[in-house]
Amino acid sequence: MVGVNRVILAGNLARDPQMKETANGRFMATFPVAINKRWRTREGENKSETTFFRIVVWNNTAEICNRYLKKGRSVLVEGRLETRSYQNSEGKTQYMTQVIGDQVTFLGKPATDENQTRADDEPSII
């Protein structure tokens, strides 16, 4: 039996990354990537729709994303889909699908900010 679970997304960060350290000392960062879809209806009306994908990255990738990525920044994320379940406060099972990012490529130019590291020092692919 053959199986492939590979996702490639290009979009913009909808929020700054949120980083956490797990109990066993691993770093994890999460951030939503927004992808816009635009089309024209048969009547000639322009329509658009935005889909948000939850991205999870680990360890060194998490640290680099937390350091260099900010809301609005364009990224290309390669990874795999994962669905997990949990019990909400009412005891109902909730399901969440997320992308576990293996590789993150920074697209475009970073925002200019005197607190941010120079663009020359920024990795392009992690």
Looking at residue 109, its pLDDT comes to 77
Looking at residue 111, its pLDDT comes to 61
Looking at residue 102, its pLDDT comes to 95
Inter-residue contact 86 to 109 (CB < 8 Å) = no
CB atoms within 10 A of CB 6: 9
Q: Which helix (H) or strand (E) holds 96?
A: strand 93-107
The CATH superfamily assigned to 7-121 is Nucleic acid-binding proteins (2.40.50.140)
Looking at residue 5, its pLDDT comes to 96
Per-residue pLDDT of the chain (126 residues; tens, 9 = 90+): 899 999 999 999 999 999 999 999 999 999 999 999 999 999 999 999 999 999 999 999 999 999 999 999 999 999 999 999 999 999 999 999 999 999 999 998 776 655 454 445 555 556
